[in-house]
Amino acid sequence: MFHFLLRTIPRPILIWFSLGFSKVAPILYYGNNYEDPISGKTYRKFLPYGYGGRAKRNNVLCPGSLSLERHRLLWLYLKEKTDFFIAPHKMLHIAPEQCFYRLFKAQKNLEYTTGDYNSPIADIHFDLHHAPFKDNEFDVIFCNHVLEHVADANQCMRELYRIMKPGGWGVFQVPLDTQRTITLEDPTITSEADRELHFWQKDHVRLFGLDYKDKLAAAGFTVKVDDFVTTLSPELVNRYRLPAGEMIYLCRK
């Protein structure tokens, strides 16, 4: 049922619906097989997620926090490899994930701003191609699973660089095909079925390859591709349901 709703309800409405669902889900899925490191709660199982094709995955969506495997990995990375939870930061969170939104907003060390094109939980609505912020404004920027949706990813990367302070850093994750050297972009691929086939999801307009790091570097960033997940035990990767092959793209200015 929940997976059907994910496929059919418009995103702004789905966000409001899922906030309510997350209140009762921990009771429905009570158990100790899997753990969400964001909340510390355990569950009998996680939910499936994805819009079809390669994007559809089983046992990945946490019923309580609504975190996906990439969110749980990022949480662990931020805790173990950064000063995100300790140092003062002026932060911009683009397309804020629900599993993070309230937690980040409550952090006393963050001056926290959220932005999105149409999300109801965003403070500011804008088009990332022309971000409404001055140069060198933010210490930290998160922009995850956004650049595969925009018309001009290179322009959006340049905007992210422009509004980041010198010495600042960001995490910009995307769906990435590690078997592909060059990012696939083809403006003739327009139908939902064809986009799902070639770009892994019906609302994606490209599929990034291993040249993603080069694209970020061309925008000005110093990029570290961190294989943090490989430092964790297989037991922990399964317990938290983490993405075994996911690399963290840490970008600095």
Q: How does pLDDT run across 145-159, given as a tens digit for each residue?
A: 999 999 999 999 999
Contact 56, 85 (CB under 8 A): no
Q: What is the model's pLDDT at position 136?
A: 98
pLDDT in tens, 80-130: 999 999 999 999 999 999 899 999 999 999 999 999 998 888 999 999 999
List, in order, residues 6 or more apart from 206 with CB less than 8 Å away: 148, 153, 183, 184, 185, 199
What is the per-residue pLDDT across 69-81, written as a single tens digit (0 to 9) for each? 999 999 999 999 9
Percent of the chain's residues with pLDDT above 90? 75
3-state secondary structure 33-70: EEECCCCCCEECCCEEECCCHHHCEEEEECCCCCCCHH
Residue whose structure tokens are 């995490």:
171
CATH architecture of the region 70-252: 3-Layer(aba) Sandwich (3.40)
Map out the domains of the chain as residue ranges: 2-67, 70-252
- Taking the model in full, what pTM does it have? 0.89
Q: For residue 55, what pLDDT band results from cuts at 50, 70 and 90?
A: low
pLDDT in tens, 163-189: 999 999 999 999 999 999 999 999 999
The three-state secondary structure class of 110 is: strand
In eight-state DSSP terms, residue 208 is B
